[in-house]
Structure 1
Amino acid sequence: MKIAVVTDSTAYLTPAQVQAAGVTVVPIPVILDGNVYDEGKDITSAAFYEKLRGAKTFPNTSQPPLGEMLKLYQNLANEGYDTILSIHLASTISGFVNTLKAAASEVQNAKVVVYDSQITVILMGELVLTAARMAQAGADIDTIVAALDDLRATIGEYFIVNDLQNLVRGGRLSNAAGFIGGMLKIKPLLTFDDDSHKIVAFEKIRSLKKAYGRVEDLFEAALATVDYPVKAWIIDANDPEAGDAWLAEMQARFPAVNWGRSYFGPVIGTHLGEKAIALAWIRDQAATR
Structure 2
Amino acid sequence: MKIALVTDSTSVITKQEAEDNNIIVVPIPVIIGNKEYLEGVDITSDKLFELQREGADFPKTSQPSMGDMITLFDKLHEEGYEAIIAITLSSGISGFYQTLCNIAQNHPTYNLHPIDTKMTVRLQGNLVLAAAKMIKNGLDLSSILDHLDKIRATIDEVFVVNDLKNLSRGGRLSNAGAFIGSMLNIKPLLTFENGDIVAFDKIRSMKRAFSKMENLTIEKINQLPYKDKIKLFIIDSNDESQVKEANEFLLKEFPDKTISITKFSPGIATHLGEKSLAIGWMIDIDKIDLTK
Short-chain TM bin: over 0.9
The one-letter code sitting in structure 2 at the alignment partner of 1:284 is D
Q: Any conservation in 2 of the 1:236–1:262 contact (CA below 8 Å)?
A: yes
Q: Any conservation in 2 of the 1:74–1:107 contact (CA below 8 Å)?
A: no
- Return the alpha-carbon distance in structure 2 between the equivalents of residues 139 and 55 of structure 1: 50
Overall identity of the aligned pairs, in %: 46
Q: Any conservation in 1 of the 2:214–2:249 contact (CA below 8 Å)?
A: no
| Helix, strand or coil at the partner of 1:168 | helix
- Return the alpha-carbon distance in structure 2 between the equivalents of residues 84 and 35 of structure 1: 31
| Helix, strand or coil at the partner of 1:288 | coil
CA shift at 1:227, angstroms? Answer: 2.5
Counterpart residue number, 1:276: 276
Counterpart residue number, 2:92: 92
Per-residue CA distance 1:197-249 (angstroms, 9 max, x = gap): 21100001121111111111111111221122110111101223421332123
- Return the alpha-carbon distance in structure 2 between the equivalents of residues 44 and 272 of structure 1: 14
Counterpart residue number, 1:209: 207
Q: Please identify runs of 4+ aligned residues in structure 1 that moved more than 6 A.
A: none
Counterpart residue number, 1:43: 43
Counterpart residue number, 2:147: 147
Matched, 1:226 2:221: no
Using the TM superposition, name which of 244-253 and 117-126 deviates more.
244-253
Counterpart residue number, 1:189: 189
In the comparison of the two structures, how many residue pairs are matched?
Answer: 287
CA shift at 1:256, angstroms? Answer: 2.6
Q: Structure 1, unaligned stretches of length 5 or more?
A: none
Q: Structure 2, unaligned stretches of length 5 or more?
A: none
- Return the alpha-carbon distance in structure 2 between the equivalents of residues 230 and 155 of structure 1: 10
- Return the alpha-carbon distance in structure 2 between the equivalents of residues 75 and 89 of structure 1: 23
Counterpart residue number, 2:239: 239
- Return the alpha-carbon distance in structure 1 between the equivalents of residues 154 and 207 of structure 2: 27
- TM-score norm. by structure 1 comes to 0.95
Question: CA-atom RMSD, angstroms?
Answer: 1.5
The one-letter code sitting in structure 1 at the alignment partner of 2:211 is G
Counterpart residue number, 2:67: 67
Matched, 1:80 2:73: no
- TM-score norm. by structure 2 comes to 0.94
